[in-house]
Amino acid sequence: MKNFHKALILFIWYVFSSPFQVSVVSVVSTADFNKDFFVIWSPSHVNTSVDGHTRSLKLDQESGAGFASNQMFLFGKIDMQIKLVPGDSAGTVLAYYLASDQPNRDEIDFEFLGNVSGQPYILQTNIFVDGTDNREERIYLWFDPTEHFHTYSVLWNMYQIVLMVDMIPIRVYRNHWDKGVAFPRRQPMSLKATLWNGDSWATRGGQDKIDWTKGPFIASFRNYEIDACVWNGNPRFCRAASPTNWWNKYRFSTLTSTQRRWFRWVRKYHMIYDYCQDNERFQNNLPRECSLPKY
């Protein structure tokens, strides 16, 4: 019995003192918006169900609205089910993103650009590193995102950032740091969602303005999952590969063969803008990552 107690004590000591201890800094979300998020903008325009499982944001002439996670993260996987603003949503922007909140911030963006009724929704994605962006891509969604909830996901690890719609990869941004390409790997980020007036640029370059008579404009959220490394001031915990930090395992270092087929399908049939093909914008000097493999 003494040997058993001694072994148990040694095991507990190892778990709580190991340099690879990451369980205390990783989280699987509670699925309760009231527990995992706080309102950052216009509480009167944020509505949360009694059980905390669903939340909506409202945009009207008075204000937009937004919320953010209580915790900050460095690497992980995040899923959120969203139902976008229905009907004539021209000029509205729903942003769902990770951001570091630093002057030279890192950011991983989903931006849903409202449209005139009957037109396909545009999803714009962007990556900021050390305060620099100019990495926009745009696709037409292949379904009506206002009829039902769909899942929008971010996988972020030391190897790559993968943005997904219903688990279909729509964008990959690889870590080519060793080749001189900036990659978000140092700054922790919080998860945010905001609904706001972007009619100066969002729909047909700002030609279609918000029709306030069609408001209020409402977007809804539910069934989120945050499985990520909670920032505690020491990045080594979040960079370690372990059963808890599963996203850092080598098998998540690139797309699977099935994911690659879906990725190519999205880019062939649904992409409408890729900064890596905009020679005019960059005066025939495209960013370095454009000439490097995506997976």
Q: Is 111 part of the annotated catalytic residue set? A: yes
Cβ-based burial of 253 (10 A; exposed 0-12, middle 13-18, buried ≥19): middle
Q: What is the token pair recorded at 69?
A: 């996670």
Catalytic, out of 62, 111, 136, 280 = 111
Catalytic residue status for 107: yes
> Cα–Cα distance between 30 and 251 in angstroms, integer?
27
Distance of CA 22 to the CA centre of its chain: 22
Q: Which of 107, 136, 137, 147 is catalytic?
A: 107
Write a three-state SS string for the chain.
Answer: CHHHHHHHHHHHHHHHHCCCCCHHHEEECCCCHHHHEEEEECHHHEEECCCCCEEEEEECCCCCEEEEECCCEEEEEEEEEEECCCCCCCCEEEEEEEECCCCCCCEEEEEEECCCCCCCCEEEEEEEECCECCCCEEEECCCCCCCCCEEEEEEECCCEEEEEECCEEEEEEECCHHHCCCCCCCCCEEEEEEEEECCCCCCHHHCCCCCHHHCCEEEEEEEEEEEEEECCCCHHHHHCCCCCCHHHCHHHCCCCHHHHHHHHHHHHHCEEEEHHHCCCCCCCCCCHHHHCCCC
Determine whether 58 is exposed, middle or buried from the number of CB atoms within 10 Å of its CB (0-12, 13-18, 19+): buried
Instruction: Tell me the catalytic residues.
Output: 107, 111
